[in-house]
Amino acid sequence: MQPEHAHKAAALDLLPIAVVLTDRALRLLDANAAAATMLERGDGLLAAAGRLECRLREDKGPLLAAITNAIAGARPSARALVRISRTRGRPYLALALAAPLCADPFCLVLVADPSKRQETEAFAAMFDLSEQELDNVETALTQPGGAGAAAPLARTRDR
């Protein structure tokens, strides 16, 4: 392992949210410690034959579309944010982002468990969302066809 890669991996392991590096074929290329734990549980997302898989078939299409759009260069938007159903608890919130500084087309998939305050706070801080905006996003994603209401991710704030 190269020292630079080890430092990056250690930094990603500090994040409370799951971070998965994948390609458009959903091959698992890397994952932080939170993602490894989540994938091992297999509650919502899992690793199968070296690929990122959804527990429920109906979640795979939206996740694949979000990853494909991110790799194609789409800006973060409501289409980049998907819900991942679980057997227990509230659905995960997953966001697909183009992996910067990669020569090959890769995608970072950030996954937060809305029932864990530390994860939702980290997710909100990354995208400058208020607690109310994050609640609105989660509510929109749990409604049938409600992903369009997740628009706060598409906007930026002036600081």
pLDDT category of residue 129 using cuts at 50, 70 and 90: confident
State the average pLDDT for the chain: 78
Supply the CATH number for residue 48's domain. Answer: 3.30.450.20
User: pLDDT tens for residues 81-121?
Assistant: 788 999 888 889 898 888 766 667 888 899 988 888 888 78
| Better pLDDT: 47 or 119 | 47
138 belongs to a structural domain: yes
Instruction: Indicate the number of domains in the chain.
Output: 1
- Over range 16-25, report the average pLDDT: 90
118 belongs to a structural domain: yes
Q: Nearest 5°: CA angle at 58, between 48 and 82?
A: 90
Domain that holds residue 39: 3-149
Handedness of CA 121, 126, 132, 135 (dihedral sign): negative
| Better pLDDT: 80 or 5 | 80
- DSSP string across 6-75: HHHHHHHHT-SSEEEEE-TT-BEEEE-HHHHHHHHHTSSEEEETTEEEESSHHHHHHHHHHHHHHHTTPP
